[in-house]
Chains A and B, each alone.
Chain A
């Protein structure tokens, strides 16, 4: 699967309260509505700036904080195709894989705001077109690739009724 889009850059330790504020996340399960407020406390106009397929690019520990899946779901529903960061907080990482939001771990200092990126998940490649630069990407463990390949954990359970990695 090849993803193409522009980089929107954020800093280190972007927590789930920044991704989607507590003011909204408890009130509704309408993810398209929540998506309008994604990253609002860091950039009030962020939602309006997104073109379908764009990437959120960040530093270390992206997604730290609460366990709420509204965070990756709000990102998916804001039409972001993947999050690229130096590292991810553990629960966010699980939630993203389970809900089908691809995550890419790499050195994001090699990406500037507005850079055009092309990502190939199955081959683990990230190309920064604006800088004509191939960036090495950490591979995903087999269990996560299997869940992503099944289309997320819901589809995995629909298929097998339980966990099945044999």
Chain B
């Protein structure tokens, strides 16, 4: 019997013949923490009586969740991280550098075929470039930093084959929101997902990251894709190191395989307060929105900013609305400036904030008021997620957010594009 991508990577990294259901101790290629999880990991690291990380080249800490710090409590935690990073000589990314899930691939820290953990649930993002990457907590992060190992239950895999061709105005975000509705928020709990098919083949690597990023919103441990020519050239642009992609066997054993034809998919919106509460846009168009957010680890990449800027160019956002834009990294920010995208967005009325997570996680940078509706390119719309439990969050593509901001209500971007 053949193996899935997840089974192969965990077999390679544990030096044993690993099959779904087995528990293995596997070697980690990279370990990451952000400012919501690292301070606790540093405390645990010390409690575990450790002196050094297993390999400073394979550990990074990123300040992105509250960047720059909004209150002194956070400032103290950031200081702990800076001191730990200096002492341990690990990779360190400070305020303004970007969102961890943009930085790890962009800085060439993660490569196809590798096994990576991050103390952030959206670590599954790198599955788009064939990395078995998954979110863990601070104690696992500490154990990983010390030993370079972690225990894993080898997951079963669901294979989703996505056929057809996405219509104009429909993006990878619409696809993954649609799949969240199909699979539901816990449909893939404890499992891996493999995304395949001609829709995936046709997407850019930027757009693929959006899909793998949200695998955890379906409950999954990771959201894997096979590497192709696009993956290969994307990774080579970001790392000089050689790598070995992993492909699933033809006779691999899946929990199930499901095929979809997405040619008729329309833009999708996840309604408050769960990601799997999904509606096609036609059923919710004209819902009033007061705030828009374009950014986050899901949709803050250059391609996303290009899509939003194309819709907003030469126009103004509606009266009594706000639009917050957070580029995913310093490099994205600079590239967007050089292309004139930032100028376009700011002229249209956007407030551009520091690359980071702020508005999405409710730490700062755009906490909504009671009773307000927010339309966001983020990956979560839980009650209180943005810092106010009396606000409502709708999730959509950058195109839908941009179009909705022009009118002040949820708008199908296909009505605006031309």
Chain A residues within 8 Å of B, Cβ to Cβ: 13, 15, 17-18, 21-23, 25-29, 41, 60-61, 64-70, 72, 87, 89-91, 94-95, 98-99, 141-143, 152-154, 157-158, 161-163, 165
Contacts and interface: CB of A to CB of B under 8 A. Distances in A.
A90 B155 CA distance: 11
B363 interface: yes
B23 A141 contact: yes
B190 interface: yes
B384 A98 contact: no
13 contacts: A17-B384, A26-B66, A27-B71, A65-B380, A68-B36, A91-B121, A91-B135, A91-B137, A95-B136, A95-B139, A95-B140, A158-B48, A158-B49
Contacts of B135: 67, 91
Given A13-B185, A98-B140, A154 B48 contact: yes
B137 A94 contact: yes
B36 A25 contact: yes
Contacts of A158: 47-49
A67 B36 CA distance: 9
A10 to B, nearest CB: 13
Contacts of B35: 26
A110 B121 CA distance: 31
Contacts of A65: 121, 380, 382
Nearest to B148: A162
B73 A27 contact: yes
A23 B389 CA distance: 10
Contacts, number: 145
Interface residues of B, number: 56
B74 A26 contact: yes
A22 B361 contact: yes
CB-CB nearest 4 A-B residue pairs: A95-B137, A61-B186, A98-B139, A22-B362
Interface in B17-70: 23, 25, 35-37, 39-40, 43-44, 47-50, 65-66
Contacts of B153: 141
Contact of B186 (A13, A23, A27): A13
A64 B149 contact: no
B355 to A, nearest CB: 18
Given A23-B362, A26-B363, A68-B137, 11 more contacts: A13-B185, A13-B186, A22-B362, A25-B36, A61-B186, A64-B185, A68-B40, A90-B219, A91-B136, A157-B146, A163-B25
Given A65-B121, A163-B143, A17 B385 contact: yes
Contacts of A89: 186, 189, 219
Contacts of A25: 36
B274 A13 contact: yes
A15 B121 CA distance: 12
B96 interface: no
B119 interface: yes
Nearest to B363: A26
A18 B389 CA distance: 9
Nearest to A99: B139
Nearest to A17: B382
Contacts of B389: 21, 41
B109 to A, nearest CB: 18
A60 B48 CA distance: 33
B151 interface: yes
A87 B189 contact: yes
Contacts of A99: 137, 139
